[in-house]
Amino acid sequence: MWRKYSILPFVFLLLIAKGWSNPPYNIFSDYTPSLLQQSDTILDSTVAKDSLSYDTGENINLSAGPLNNGDSLSNISNKGVFGLPDQTATRSAVDLIRPFADSTRFFSWKFNNTYLSNDTTTIDTLFRFRHLVYPQQKHFETYSYTGNLGGPVQYDHFFTRNESYDFLFSRYHDLYSNHISETEQYNVRSPFTRLFYSTGGPNSEAEQVVNALQTQNIGKHFNFGLYYNFYGTKGQYKNQETRNNLISLFANYYKGNVSGQFALANKVYKNEENGGVTDSKFITDTIVELVPFKLTTASSVLRNFSFSANIGYTILNVNKRTKSNDGSTLDNFIPLVTTRFLLDYSKQSRLYSDTKPDPSFYNKFYISPNITRDSVAKQILDAKLILEIAQFAKIPGMPGIRGWIGYNQFNYHLFLPQNFLYPTKDFKESSAHVGIAAFSDSPFVGYRGALKWFIKGYRADDKEIDGEIWFSPWKDMSMPRLKGTLKISEISPEIFVNTFFSNHAQWNNSFEKEKRFMLQGALETKRWEAEVGYNLIHIKDFVFFNENALPDQTGDITITSFYAQKNFKVLNGLNIFNRVVWQANTNSNSLSIPDLMVFSSVYYERVIVKNALKGQLGFNVYYRTKFYADAYSPSIAQFYNQRVEKIGGYPLVDAFLNFKWKKALIYLKFEHVNQGFPNNEYFATYLYPYNPRIFKFGVLWTFYD
């Protein structure tokens, strides 16, 4: 019965909105940048809001910065194209995705898949920590990986891990780029270019990083751009070469009542697989050139082609009349009711091959003992139709509402034994869901939440509830504020967790839905660059990969963590930045994580040439306590449990020198400068060592004039 009348609240809100003439002054910002992203930039980065935002004064000025072609509010006429008011017909992203700052020379945002909103981003021009070039280093926490740039990565802090993935075999590579619908979008007054290049080691072992961004506007309504990212290394150890090429095209169009965001991406990850050292003693007791590895002819290729379209149309505007400087009355038409259509498509595949598989490494051969060539693929089509009603007034608790219906279809391919006799075919599954979200903001409190319920198909009866809330007694965002996060979910396992067949592994499971209840709380203050937080999650029917590298499911597990982060400015120019994370769990048989993780950076900063050159000299340390770090299986691209040997207890120290020269950022770094001290037990994960000592340098150059 309740389903029949579920549309009534939307109709009721729509009728109220029709006559409303006092919209909010401020719409909730769906995203708050991290503490360190608020300072040390070479650009005046701006902030974009959830949907709309307004000045905090009584008189609302819709012109965020100067208008093109000499336009101003004082000469806007009452009629425009298609009979719309001129102000509505000509508005752009500057008017619809409003930054906090007055300057709108350039700003950026990205779509949030959880709350279906546009979130703030900052343009990456940080001076501080420019020498941290690996994508996984941005969290200032330790991580487990195969030791080479571009390889699979798993964070040691459980609450930093991304447990939401579309394709099982890409889950540990997903951090190298955003989900296609969350591609960062820009609006710039002049062409904007950002180039970063980093290299290290001799030619025979060279490691390289290339990040490039080019974006520009054609008029004030249309923006387009290009991303290119390359992560690669020839490897300081044998059979360790990686080459990750990621290219993305993006565009956005905002004019009048019409909006659109688009992205197209092609990602290729090529990795040689060495399987780790044959024995850890070869690292602790042997020179690097003589270290033997388990695999010599294995490799993997992971591919991802994806497309996203996000198209919106405002079906109802409200008029907020204001007075200009000369006392005349101006009509300001604000979007109130908007509909959007989201379409995402992706095709992902992985090919694992070994031309001479070693029986001492592979326990099983299900197809051929002479050669391995395992392929698996998945195509996903996801569509959503959304109706959004903006927050009516800046009253504590007054919400804006989003409601939507969604449809998801995926096809998957894998080789099965019956394919020896019958033609191969793809399998198809689909799901449908409904969702509702609420968001609200006022000077001292804000929240947002989303509920998704899958009503049919593969994910039938899955549920996801997400929520965030913040409190602050100050209007100033840099002052202390309290944040809280809630996540409740009951989710079916990804299809390949249940079904898989290859030359070296097979399983056929019927796992229960994984049920999670998570609470997170934090107290942050950007002004003093400090944050403390506590995380708690209880998981029932936890899915993991056991010691046989097979998916398994256990009963209850509870994980907790506490973290503290602070930058201390001592004396004149001396900085000491620390982040400490403590965590524990109740089921060490299913999950092994370090008890303590520390990142510390000590550096001295001073101006060398006024208004031209600034320098930083210092060192940073990564440290984690000993634990049974997961092993890695290259044939199935998964980290899995092992209880053979503990790693950790080894400080990884880098010495660096950073320069900021006008618009250029330059870094020089000796990585792993402490190799051999206090011992040689330096492992990134089980049987995969860190790289030996290496010198790296790089430069970030930004052009926007």
Is residue 55's pLDDT more than 80?
A: no
Q: Which residue has the tokens 């504020």?
A: 481
Residue 194 burial by Cβ neighbours in a 10 Å radius (0-12, 13-18, 19+): buried
Mean pLDDT of the chain: 85
What is the DSSP annotation of 282-346?
Answer: HHHSS-GGG--BS-SSEEEEEEEEEEEEEEEEEEEEEE--EE-TTS-EE--EEEEEEEEEEEEEE
**Banded pLDDT at 58 (limits 50, 70, 90):** very low
Q: How do strand 574-585 and strand 688-689 relate by DSSP bridges?
A: unpaired
Is residue 377's pLDDT more than 80?
A: yes
Is residue 82's pLDDT more than 90?
A: no
Is residue 22's pLDDT more than 60?
A: no
Look at residue 395 in the predicted model and tell me its pLDDT.
Answer: 67
Look at residue 68 in the predicted model and tell me its pLDDT.
Answer: 33
- Catalogue all structural domains in the chain, each as residue range(s) with its CATH number: 8-128+142-703 (2.40.170.20)
Is residue 61's pLDDT more than 90?
A: no
- The proportion of the chain whose per-residue pLDDT surpasses 70, expressed as a percent, equals 85
Name the more confident of 94 and 406: 406
Find the mean pLDDT for residues 240-266: 96
Least confidently predicted of 145-159, 329-343, 646-660: 329-343
Is residue 93's pLDDT more than 90?
A: no
pLDDT (tens digit, 9 = 90+) per residue, 171-206?
999 999 999 999 999 999 899 999 999 999 888 889
Instruction: Give how far the C-alpha of residue 26 lies from the chain's centroid of Cα atoms, to the nearest Å.
Output: 26
What is the rounded CA–CA span in Å between residue 131 and residue 241? 22
Find the mean pLDDT for residues 8-19: 37
pLDDT (tens digit, 9 = 90+) per residue, 570-617?
888 999 999 999 999 999 999 999 999 999 999 999 999 988 899 999
Is residue 71's pLDDT more than 80?
A: no
Residue 12 · residue 389 · CB < 8 Å = no
pLDDT (tens digit, 9 = 90+) per residue, 208-242?
999 999 999 999 999 999 999 999 999 889 999 99
Find the mean pLDDT for residues 547-556: 96
What is the DSSP annotation of 506-523?
Answer: EEE--PPPEEEEEEEEEE
Residue 695 · residue 669 · CB < 8 Å = yes
Peptide bond preceding 24 in cis form (omega within 30 of 0): no
Is residue 655's pLDDT more than 60?
A: yes
pLDDT (tens digit, 9 = 90+) per residue, 122-155?
777 677 898 999 999 999 999 999 999 999 999 9
Look at residue 641 in the predicted model and tell me its pLDDT.
Answer: 98
The candidate with the shortest Cα–Cα distance to 686, out of 324, 338, 294, 376, is 294
- Report CA-CA distances (Å) from 198 to 245, 382, 492, 600, 699: 15, 37, 41, 23, 7
Give the predicted TM-score (pTM) of the model.
0.87
What is the rounded CA–CA span in Å between residue 125 and residue 605? 17
What is the DSSP annotation of 235-257?
Answer: -SSTT--EEEEEEEEEEEEEETT
Is residue 544's pLDDT more than 90?
A: yes
Q: Which residue has the tokens 């618009």?
A: 663
Find the mean pLDDT for residues 529-557: 97
